[in-house]
């Protein structure tokens, strides 16, 4: 056993305690009342990087929540690797569906339960611990390392492009490795080749000056909820095809070869249904479930509200109704163009008798794809095969990682995702958890990856 | 000026102070946490009736909130009149749209602002004060009087039929006069001839065990909000016609004569739009706005909720979505039959991939109609003409007063509505208010009505 591998084992309990401490910070980026907590999580990360031995640790101002930067650049002639992750979390509602309070981490049955445990604090802490193990035992790292951890991933990284633009030289590197991503399951590794893009809108339907008595006024005025329901229904066919005009126009249809590669990745539909608790799956006709999740764009309603939500009956025709929508995009859809199409569709289909407003959210992301034979992927492939004893499936993901497309656009550098969460860990949902087995395996994997990248052909441009 | 008329003027300030005290009780019948407050309001009413000189005042148990009963039966040979009203209120949300807290009454510009001010506490107190004025000054009432004030009107009077059945003898009377109703405006009285019936359901759409990451799972499963939107949209045409099969089957179409009577009641559409703050009216094609409000049934969505309702973006596919619907019914629609049709429609149109449940609410009411030449209406007509100097328009109302149909069914007695709220007083909405002018005019009107009913031909069966 190498000294750094041994270090990781010896400090296992401390690392878990540190993760629990990190998870206690309610760093919800979408809620302004938690802005200070997001800042606090960033400070925690900066302190932890310094303790690990990273240098030049600082906060890069973004206009929103700052990015935590650090570096270790004492490997001349070796590649420079930028490590990415995020320390912000999703909101916690519906909070009553959590077994324990979301920011009071509980360790149970080899898992740590808390908001952010899997997405992404647990995964983000992993490379820091791997760096520490090598710096503490060997005094050096096998490659030059920069870290770049953000606090706005869960709101679509609205300030990331300006931070990257303002720090081009500082962030220059040969490869990005993302600690945000997924694995297949506990036995089967995956290498993620693509992420979906994102855009989002809020629809506000305004009816009247005040809520109305549904008996006195009902039937004489447009009901804002009914208008909103009609508008939402107009966006999707009964079978699940998006009906927004032009929506599929720029979608790159998967080739027969890509489709057969996707079909080669095992998919247990019964287990998937069982995991989610649904009786049947549903989605755009003409594509498999995997294809819908990985290579087809989607339009999802994330929330809706209006009128009376309490117990019993309130005979009211409500003054207004609201909905939130996000679209997940695939190559070569452009989020700005989709936002325009969505806005036009909503304007064209706005029912009479109400005012309908569309508010695009600042969160947008371009879709991303990295070739499977990229040198970073070849190194990650090899390490995953060594750790799991199986070669990874090459997959894509319906999730969005805006940083990948941004770094490719702005710094001309590809991102390899190297993360250890599994898709049953309730990311974005109540009772999120992270497996402690993944936490430890990930530390060892990062140690091996950095060593392998030091010798990887084709990495230095 | 008669002694009782003088009494009303002399005690004006005390009566207003009492109304304010009554309005302070947050007697919201739809919320179980306010059950004790509804009870407290009932006790307040019972005390007030005793103070007014009514006898045998008691609470009639209903299985829910008790009915307040009282009587004065010392006018042998004269008709017996049952006075009706309710002391429960609607909920107050959205509470942030109120200028002042809804249960902290404010008197301003000749109006008292509070939840329940117009519907129905202000109107309900009026006949009590009229009774007191006569009992205090004359020692007698011109007719036999029973009072019957309930605390569950705003939830559709679910226990009223059993209370009436259990108290048939006690409640026997020649005429019911309801202190719940409306007037036209400050100058023009109306006599209400009909109320709509009511039935209500909650729809629960269940998707998954937990909220899902919209990127990872979006496009592979039915979105519960999208399913609900589709279901709601299926219930109504783009033009506003209800599409629930059989919905209009038992509707009595107004005769050409009835339609011309309705058209004779002045209606200022521009003022109506201005009052509500809407750009255009909307409703079932083929009928005027008045006809839609008075003689056509409606289906209104009262509330909807599901998923993320906060600030910003949460990329979630929510586990469930919910909506509340009420139908307002006209003669001869049967609420139970409509509930069955609604349930069948929802089952037939439930989108795939989700579980859809329909929960009928216990609140149901049959539609009600009283002939314009009923002796009670003739007396009310005359008093209103005397008070306002104009003969009343004969109208109907989109609102529901379950007690009317129940008393007609169970006691074979008609109800004349005699109330003084105006339809701009924000009943069921924020900033509900009642005009103090109406409060005083109503007391005098009730005094005159009781005297006139003592001589009214055709009233005693």
* Mutation target among B118, B195, B302, B431 for the A interface, most CBs of A within 10 A: B302
Q: pLDDT (tens digit, 9 = 90+) per residue, A295-311?
A: 999 999 999 999 999 98
Contact A72, A55 (CB under 8 A): yes
- Chain A hits for B275, CB-CB cut-off 8 Å, are 209
Q: Helices (H), strands (E): how many in chain B?
A: 14, 18
Q: Which of A22, A144, A39 is nearest to A83 (CA)?
A: A144
Flag whether pLDDT at A161 surpasses 70.
yes
Q: What angle in degrees, to the nearest 10, is found between the helix axes of A436-455 and A12-23?
A: 110
- Compute the mean pLDDT over every residue in chain B, rounded to the nearest whole number: 95
pLDDT at A460 over 80: no
Predicted pLDDT at A309: 95
Assess whether pLDDT exceeds 80 at residue A183: yes
* Residues in chain B closer than 8 A to A232 (CB atoms): 225-226, 229, 233
- Is pLDDT larger for residue B171 or for residue B372? B171
Which of A226, A236, A303 has the CB atom closest to B232's CB atom? A226
- B106 and B112 Cβ atoms separated by less than 8 Å: yes
Q: What is the mean pLDDT of chain A?
A: 95
ipTM over 0.85: no
Nearest to B304 among A272, A281, A321 (CB): A321
Say if the Cβ atoms of A282 and B318 lie within 8 Å.
Answer: no
Q: Find, in chain B, the residue whose alpha carbon is nearest to that of A353.
A: B280
Query: pLDDT digits over A319-374, tens only?
Result: 999 999 999 999 889 999 999 999 999 999 999 999 999 999 988 889 998 988 89
pLDDT in tens, A374-401: 999 999 999 999 999 999 998 888 777 8
Domains of chain B: 3-195+368-453 (3.40.630.10), 197-251+297-360 (3.30.70.360)
pLDDT top residue among A394 and B204: B204
Contact yes or no for B294/B167 (Cβ under 8 A): no
Query: Is the pTM above the cut of 0.95?
Result: no
B308–A311 CB contact, under 8 Å? no
- Nearest Cα to Cα of residue A278 among B319, B226, B322: B319
Predicted confidence (pLDDT) at residue B184 exceeds the cutoff of 90: no
Write out chain A residues lying below 8 Å of B307, CB-based. Answer: 301-304, 324
Q: What is the pLDDT of residues B385-433, one digit of tens each?
A: 999 999 899 888 877 788 999 999 999 999 999 999 998 899 988 999 9
Contact flag B30-A311 (C-beta cutoff 8 Å): yes
Q: Three-state secondary structure along A1-55?
A: CCHHHHHHHHCHHHHHHHHHHHHCCCCECCCHHHHHHHHHHHHHHHHHHHHHCCE
Contacts of A226 in chain B (CB under 8 A): 232-233, 236, 300-301
3-state helix, strand, coil in chain A (%, to 5): 35, 20, 40
Q: Tell me what the mean pLDDT of segment A259-278 comes to.
A: 92
When pLDDT is averaged across residues B358-377 and rounded to a whole number, the result is 91
Chain A positions touching B397 (Cβ under 8 A) are: 215-216
Q: What pLDDT was estimated at residue B461?
A: 47
Considering only CB atoms, which chain B residues are within 8 Å of A198? Answer: 215, 315
Among residues of chain B, what percentage have pLDDT more than 70?
100
Nearest-by-CA chain A residue for B308 = A303
Q: Would you call A30 and B292 a contact, using CB atoms and an 8 Å cutoff?
A: no
For the stretch B36-75, pLDDT in tens is 999 999 999 999 999 999 999 999 999 999 899 999 999 9
Q: Are A221 and B91 in contact (CB < 8 Å)?
A: no
């Amino acid at each position: 056993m190498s000294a750094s591998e041994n270090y990781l084992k010896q400090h296992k309990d401390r690392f878990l305690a540190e993760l629990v401490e990190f998870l206690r910070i309610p760093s919800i980026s979408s809620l302004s009342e938690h802005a200070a907590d997001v800042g606090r999580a960033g400070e925690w990360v900066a302190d932890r990087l310094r303790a690990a031995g990273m240098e030049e640790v600082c906060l890069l101002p973004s206009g929103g929540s700052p990015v935590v930067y650090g570096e270790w650049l004492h490997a001349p002639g070796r590649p420079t690797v930028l490590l990415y992750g995020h320390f912000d979390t999703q909101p916690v509602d519906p909070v009553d569906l959590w077994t324990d309070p979301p920011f009071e981490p509980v360790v149970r049955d080899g898992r740590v339960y808390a908001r952010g445990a899997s997405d992404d604090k647990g995964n983000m802490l992993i490379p820091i611990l791997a760096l520490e193990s090598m710096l503490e035992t060997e005094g050096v790292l096998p490659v030059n390392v920069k870290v770049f951890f953000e606090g706005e991933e869960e709101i679509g990284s609205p300030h990331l492009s300006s931070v990257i633009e303002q720090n081009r030289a500082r962030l220059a590197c040969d490869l990005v490795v993302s600690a945000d991503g997924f694995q297949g399951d506990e036995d089967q590794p995956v290498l993620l080749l693509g992420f979906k893009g994102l855009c989002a809108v809020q629809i506000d339907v305004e009816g009247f000056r005040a809520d109305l008595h549904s008996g006195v006024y009902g039937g004489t005025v447009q009901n804002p909820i009914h208008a909103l329901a009609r508008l939402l229904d107009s966006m999707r066919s009964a079978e699940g095809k998006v009906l927004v005009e032009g929506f599929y126009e720029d979608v790159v249809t998967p080739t027969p070869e890509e489709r057969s590669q996707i079909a080669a990745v095992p998919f247990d539909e019964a287990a998937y249904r069982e995991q989610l608790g649904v009786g049947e799956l549903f989605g755009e006709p003409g594509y498999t479930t995997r294809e819908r999740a990985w290579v087809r764009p989607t339009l999802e309603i994330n929330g809706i509200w209006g009128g009376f939500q309490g117990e019993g009956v309130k005979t009211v025709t409500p003054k207004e109704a609201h909905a939130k929508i996000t679209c997940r995009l695939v190559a070569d859809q452009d989020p700005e163009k989709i936002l325009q199409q969505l806005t036009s569709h909503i304007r064209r289909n706005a029912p009479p008798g109400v005012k309908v407003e569309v508010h695009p959210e600042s969160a947008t992301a371009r879709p991303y794809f990295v070739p499977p034979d990229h040198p970073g992927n070849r190194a990650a492939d090899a390490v995953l095969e060594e750790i799991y004893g199986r070669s990874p499936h090459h997959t894509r993901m319906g999730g969005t990682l805006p940083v990948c497309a941004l770094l490719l656009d702005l710094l001309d550098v590809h991102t390899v995702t190297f993360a250890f969460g599994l898709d049953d860990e309730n990311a974005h949902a109540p009772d999120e958890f992270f497996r402690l087995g993944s936490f430890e395996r990930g530390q060892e994997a990062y140690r091996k990856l950095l060593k392998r990248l030091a010798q990887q052909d084709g990495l230095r441009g």
